[in-house]
């Protein structure tokens, strides 16, 4: 797909539902008694993979395609053995979180996905689940999918996680639903807490103290109504586009601003962006309308505990930094290397091809802003966050930019290009 510079972007929009919350609604709804009704569900490929997997385990899930999903829960012990491989597609969230559930089921499962999933590290969940008594192994012996999981009786553990990862934490907590005794996870920094909030909504005894979360085994989960807010990761591209495109103003409505996910707002404020957060709601997951206007930006240092709150937004932040005065340093973000692509290397190589002054480091990147970008050929590596970030960069670059693999945005935001074009002025 070809992109060119635009004069400005203006308007308001609502982005699709939060991907993390959508995944969890299917998983916990499937384990609950009764019918869980979900509105605002994300119709992206990753979340549809989660629906497909739980349907294969006997769960009746009605998806109207408009964000409304009804899950007829089977109860904690109601899943049935899948007749074939549970195909997670490109979804690391499905793979890791579902593994925690499968570890306690009375059957054996095979979990596999696309070429990207087969390269992503699974030892980070295999180790703690094995400590709980799970029988989980990598079919090829390389600590990646395909995974073979045979359900076992589990026991609670106290796990000190080497990484701040909501996927690791959630896999352990889901296994902890079935384990004998309490299970606790302590992280080096607080990762997103959607699992904890939703487990509490479903009636689970779960407590968080500082960076440790503790769950008690559950006898049953109770079906709920879940309203999924707009995904702040998806909103980020429009926020960044408005900040760097001259004479622009964009409002993204009903965005989730969970404090474990709002790092992009704080970083944009640090960089001097003209950003306002209004119409906040604290019912369930907190939400707000976010308005961003074009403004001068300055570089800053981004690292430490804020990184887990914006890990998926770093590709877009790298683009933002190219248009800021001075140096931006992104550090403590080694996790970027094991996403759908090595996002450090991919962002650096592609931004360099557009003329950016950027260098990779072991745990992030250093960007000297203020240099004019020009069009280039961009290899997205079929990574949705890379493709969307470069669509935004191309709108502020001379000449034309071609993005290879642009269709990968279907993973999280199928209507992204249409929504972006709708805001373009002139």
Query: What is the rounded distance in angstroms from the CA atom of residue 137 to the CA atom of residue 84?
Result: 17
| Per-residue tokens: 205 | 């005894």
Active site members: 312
Task: Give the pair of three-digit tokens for residue 258.
Answer: 């969970």
- 127-160 pLDDT tens trace: 999 999 999 999 999 999 999 999 999 999 999 9
Best CA proximity match to 221, nearest among 205, 245, 241, 237: 205
> Does pLDDT of 216 surpass 60?
yes
Quote the CA–CA distance of 45 and 318 in Å, as a whole number: 25
For residue 104, pLDDT beyond 90: yes
Task: Give, in order, the Cα–Cα distances in Å from 257 to each of 51, 192, 269.
Answer: 25, 11, 15
For residue 172, which of 142, 219, 120, 131 has the smallest C-alpha distance?
Answer: 131
Q: Please give the average per-residue pLDDT across 179-191, as a whole number.
A: 97
Mean pLDDT value of segment 271-300:
95
What is the rounded average pLDDT of the residues 105-111?
98
Per-residue confidence (pLDDT) for residue 282, from 0 to 100: 80
d(CA 69, CA 37): 6
Mean pLDDT value of segment 237-263: 98
**Strand ranges of the sheet holding 8-13, from the earlier edge strand across to the other edge:** 274-281, 287-293, 249-256, 8-13, 424-425
Confidence of residue 426 (pLDDT cuts 50, 70, 90): low
Instruction: Name the average pLDDT for the chain.
Output: 97
Q: Is 283 a residue whose pLDDT tops 80?
A: no
Sequence-distant (6+) residues with CB within 8 A of 39 are: 67, 68, 225, 226, 227, 228
Residue 271: both structure tokens together: 């960089």
The proportion of the chain whose per-residue pLDDT surpasses 90, expressed as a percent, equals: 99
Domains of the chain in start order, with CATH, are 2-16+229-425 (3.65.10.10), 19-219 (3.65.10.10)
Dump pLDDT digits (tens) for 255-267.
Answer: 999 999 999 999 9
Cα(238)–Cα(395) distance, rounded to whole angstroms? Answer: 11
From the list 149, 109, 110, the residue with the least C-alpha distance to 132 is: 149
**pLDDT of 425 over the 80 cut:** no
Report the pLDDT averaged over residues 352-374.
Answer: 97
């Amino acid at each position: 797909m070809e992109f060119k510079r635009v004069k400005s972007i203006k308007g308001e929009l609502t982005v699709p539902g939060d991907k993390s919350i959508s995944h969890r609604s299917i998983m916990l709804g499937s384990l609950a008694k009764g019918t869980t009704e979900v509105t605002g569900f994300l119709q992206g490929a990753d979340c549809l993979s989660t629906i497909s997997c739980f349907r294969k385990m006997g769960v009746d899930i009605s998806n109207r395609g408009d964000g409304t999903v009804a899950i007829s829960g089977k109860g904690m012990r109601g899943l049935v053995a899948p007749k074939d491989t549970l195909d997670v597609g490109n979804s690391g969230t499905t793979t890791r979180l579902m593994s925690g559930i499968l570890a306690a089921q009375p059957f054996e499962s095979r979990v596999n996905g696309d070429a990207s999933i087969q390269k992503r590290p699974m030892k980070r969940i295999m180790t703690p689940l094995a400590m709980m008594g799970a029988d989980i192994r990598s079919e090829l012996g390389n600590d990646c999918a395909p995974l073979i999981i045979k359900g076992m009786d589990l026991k609670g553990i106290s796990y000190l996680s080497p990484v701040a990862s909501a996927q690791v934490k959630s896999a352990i907590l889901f296994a902890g639903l079935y384990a004998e005794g309490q299970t606790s996870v302590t992280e080096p920094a607080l990762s997103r807490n959607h699992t904890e909030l939703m487990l509490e909504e479903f009636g689970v005894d779960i407590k968080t103290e500082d960076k440790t979360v503790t769950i008690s085994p559950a006898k049953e989960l109770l079906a709920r109504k879940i309203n999924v807010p707009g995904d702040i990761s998806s909103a980020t591209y429009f926020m960044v586009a408005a900040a760097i495109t001259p004479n622009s103003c964009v409002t993204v409505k009903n965005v989730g601003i969970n404090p474990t996910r709002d790092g992009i707002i704080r970083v944009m404020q640090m960089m001097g962006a003209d950003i306002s957060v209004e119409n906040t709601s604290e019912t369930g997951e907190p939400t707000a309308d976010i308005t961003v206007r074009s403004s001068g930006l300055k570089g800053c240092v981004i690292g430490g505990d804020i990184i887990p709150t914006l890990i998926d937004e770093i590709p877009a932040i790298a683009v933002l930094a190219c248009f800021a005065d001075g140096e931006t340093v992104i550090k403590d973000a080694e996790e970027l290397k094991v996403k759908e692509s090595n996002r450090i290397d991919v962002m650096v190589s592609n931004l360099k091809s557009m003329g950016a002054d950027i260098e990779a480091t072991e745990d992030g990147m250093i960007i000297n802003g203020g240099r004019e970008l020009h069009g280039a050929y961009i290899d997205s590596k079929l990574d949705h966050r890379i493709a969307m970030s470069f669509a935004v960069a191309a709108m502020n670059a001379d000449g034309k930019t071609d993005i290879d693999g642009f269709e990968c945005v279907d993973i999280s935001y199928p209507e992204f290009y249409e929504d972006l074009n709708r805001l373009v002025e002139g």
